[in-house]
Structure 1
Amino acid sequence: MKAILTGHTKGLGAALAANLLARGVPLLGLARTGAPALREAYPDLFEEVELDLADGAALAAWLEGGALERYLDGTGAVLLLNNAGVVGPVGPLDVQDPQAVLRSVALNVAAPMALSAAVVRASSAAQRRILHISSGAARNAYPGWSVYCATKAALDQHARAVALDGERGVRICSLAPGVIDTGMQAEIRDTPEERFPQRQRFVDLKETGTLVDPERCAEQLVDYMLGSGFGAEVIADLRTLS
């Protein structure tokens, strides 16, 4: 078994990387920056590529270079965790930077879709498990979050359609992990209320200690991904999985 994880250097991604490696699962991390502590702690299990996943040309060049095929060669099972994402740009249309919209869609949608296809094409493993980190925002619209809601909803629909394809050995799930205490949450709390009217709700979650610890979330998420029931619910919420 081998795993591929995007956005492995911070937040939930860092917790997922540490959890997988602690279980002895070889991991390839893809992110704009590196994780030297993981390289030092797991020199035989961990590899990483510093890659801006919002840069479609850079991602395409890496995929065309054969590194993915070489990494997956001979492995019996593959886990792909599409975790990298951004919440911005936040606000109504008249304050959204079009370039930021393009980068957000590239990172939140195009990269996970391309990687999903690339992993299945590059591997002949008996099991290919694909996890999209989705959000409650995929299923409920929020003012100021039109880009984030739309991009996460796209992942949900992608998972539904892939599941309908019924490819042998491929399981997929688009999973909302809950509200996690990460840098993204800090970014949300720092957003002016005129751009995100729901801001106070997230401030309250922090102040009341309701946010989920990333390490606890990662433990539950990896347990689910490795379990026999993965993919039975194509659109799922970690908080309601049995």
Structure 2
Amino acid sequence: MKKAIVTGHTRGLGAAIAAELQARGVAVLGLARGRSPLAGIDQAEVDMADPAALQAWLAGATLREFLADASQALLVNNAGVVTPVGPLAAQDPAEVLRAVSLNVGAPLALAAAFVQAAPKAERRILHVSSGAARNAYPGWAVYCATKAALDQHARAVLLDGGMRAGGARVLACSLAPGVIDTDMQAAIRATPDADFPLRERFVALKEGGALDSPAVCAKKLADYLLAPGFGSEPVDDLRN
């Protein structure tokens, strides 16, 4: 049986991924601060930007019990934030800490707990990365750095010999999905030019119809995640 953990499943790309995997017969456990109206999935309410709250949830039995009968276990680390946006002088340190906890701490902790919770299953970890992990953008120092951390994590998992960790395969990829028409993109377009000088580029993408819908992107991402060659490239771009 295929089972998937999807973070940030209540809206945007995460909601579309959860729905797409469920439509393909994959049992889904969604993790987010709130709940999704999607019927037929398991859900856990946890603030993944709060390390203590996430640690308490991981110490429980939910993850292990959900994955107990999985032959193939999937983890999609989708939850993340682009804020704070702006130069260092404009960044709220508390907001920086929250972004690092959600964008880096949570997916790395989940990856370790996930692998340990399903030792007999083939395990696939997909970090939703970004082109910002591979190209520095003014105003996005925190977002670029946190997404780059996911790329390096996937590379290191491969170097660790994760292909046979724990007696079953562990595969990982940090995948940039392209530019998607989500609330995050709307927030980017609403950012003052002084904080994000490249704002007009993203406005032009929206006006030019160059943004994928979450549903279209989720279909491509699910195809990638479930393909036989998943994990052969630890860092990849869905547009390739």
TM norm. shorter chain > 0.5 = yes
Q: By how many angstroms is 1:118 displaced?
A: 0.2
Answer yes or no: is 1:202 the counterpart of 2:202: yes
Deviations 1:77-123 (A, max 9, x none): 10000000000000000110000000000000000000000000111
Equivalent position to 1:108, from 94, 103, 109: 103
| Distance across 2 between alignment mates of 1:156 and 1:183 | 23
Deviant stretches of 4+, over 2 Å: none
| Distance across 1 between alignment mates of 2:171 and 2:120 | 12
| Structure 1 match to 2:215 | 215
Comparing 151-160 with 65-74, greater Cα deviation is found at 65-74
| Structure 2 match to 1:8 | 9
Opposite residue 58 of structure 1, the aligned amino acid is A
| Distance across 2 between alignment mates of 1:212 and 1:142 | 21
| Distance across 1 between alignment mates of 2:120 and 2:238 | 26
Which ranges of structure 2 fall in alignment gaps of 5 or more residues?
A: none
Residue 138 of structure 1 contacts residue 150 of structure 1 at CA under 8 Å; is this kept in 2? yes
Deviations 1:119-155 (A, max 9, x none): 0011123310000000000000000000000000000
Identity among equivalent positions (%) equals: 65
Q: TM-score scaled to structure 1, two decimals? A: 0.95
Q: By how many angstroms is 1:74 displaced?
A: 2.1
Deviations 1:3-24 (A, max 9, x none): 0000001111011011011111
| Structure 2 match to 1:54 | 49
Q: By how many angstroms is 1:29 displaced?
A: 0.1
Answer yes or no: is 1:228 the counterpart of 2:223: no
Equivalent position to 1:71, from 48, 66, 69: 66
Matches within 5 A, 1:143-158: 143-158=138-153
Q: TM-score scaled to structure 2, two decimals? A: 0.96
Residue 70 of structure 2 contacts residue 121 of structure 2 at CA under 8 Å; is this kept in 1? no
Opposite residue 146 of structure 2, the aligned amino acid is T
| Structure 2 match to 1:35 | 36
- Paired positions, count: 234
